Chain A
Amino acid sequence: GNSVTQMEGPVTLSEEAFLTINCTYTATGYPSLFWYVQYPGEGLQLLLKATKADDKGSNKGFEATYRKETTSFHLEKGSVQVSDSAVYFCALSDREGGSYIPTFGRGTSLIVHP
């Protein structure tokens, strides 16, 4: 079956530091890949996505590249802000068994200090 593994947190950084959150996946088909973000007290919302190998998703300064050869989709940001403090979820969507039920990682908490 499908699975998503992401680094455990919390990740604690100072403002303007470089961020990487690792995500690797296993899938039976050719999945689409997503990063969702959950701000405190809110539900998840889509941050970025990529649908095929070597695609780069980007939004709000965050980027992730679909690497089929390493089955990875690492999230990066060059300079984090306090407002980026949130929980980040890597996810995939694949037509396994005729459905598009997404598979989520367990989430990585990011804490950014001023």
Chain B
Amino acid sequence: DVKVTQSSRYLVKRTGEKVFLECVQDMDHENMFWYRQDPGLGLRLIYFSYDVKMKEKGDIPEGYSVSREKKERFSLILESASTNQTSMYLCASSSPPPRQGRGAKNIQYFGAGTRLSVL
């Protein structure tokens, strides 16, 4: 089974702290994604990555950065946490590479989520 593991289920941080959310997948997927999930807003894409050291902005990248030094690991960084970043964060991975194959293979596999509270 594909496994996407997020390092923490719950985090409580203070305003202004630098926060790292880690995600690891074990299926050698090229694509990895970070979303945030808020009531009434569904899933919103923050950043995604198609390859090691490669990143692209999603719909709401402001206040976030990412790092992908190894294929299996994709980190989300909140440079200076703010209260409006309190949310559920979901990591996902998928295969194959975006310019090959059919869309049906682009199934996303999600981690269990990290619920972040910024006080």
Residue numbers of A with Cβ under 8 A of B are 31-32, 34, 36, 41-46, 49, 51, 89, 93-95, 98-102, 104-107
A95 to chain B, nearest CB (A): 7
A94 contact set on B, CB distance < 8 A: 103
- Does B48 make an interface contact (CB < 8 A)? yes
| Segment from B13-21, B64-72, B79-87, B105-113 that makes contact with A | B105-113
Q: Which residue in A45, A89, A101 is a CB contact (below 8 Å) of B45?
A: A101
Cβ contact within 8 Å between B45 and A46: no
Known: A49-B107, A51-B103, A101-B48. Contact between A106 and B42, CB under 8 A? Answer: yes
Cβ contact within 8 Å between A106 and B103: no
How many residues of chain B are within 8 Å of chain A by beta carbon? 25
How many A-B Cβ pairs are below 8 Å? 64
B55 to chain A, nearest CB (A): 13
Cβ contact within 8 Å between A100 and B106: yes
B115 to chain A, nearest CB (A): 9
Cβ contact within 8 Å between A43 and B4: yes
Measured CB to CB, the nearest residue on chain A to B104 is A51
Known: A32-B102, A34-B107, A98-B99. Contact between A44 and B42, CB under 8 A? Answer: no
B104 contact set on A, CB distance < 8 A: 32, 49, 51, 93
A42 contact set on B, CB distance < 8 A: 112-113
A45 contact set on B, CB distance < 8 A: 109-110
Q: Which residue in B31, B45, B58, B108 is a CB contact (below 8 Å) of A44?
A: B108
Cβ contact within 8 Å between A32 and B113: no
**Could you give 9 example pairs across A and B, Cβ below 8 Å?**
A32-B102, A32-B103, A43-B4, A44-B90, A89-B42, A89-B43, A99-B98, A100-B31, A100-B103
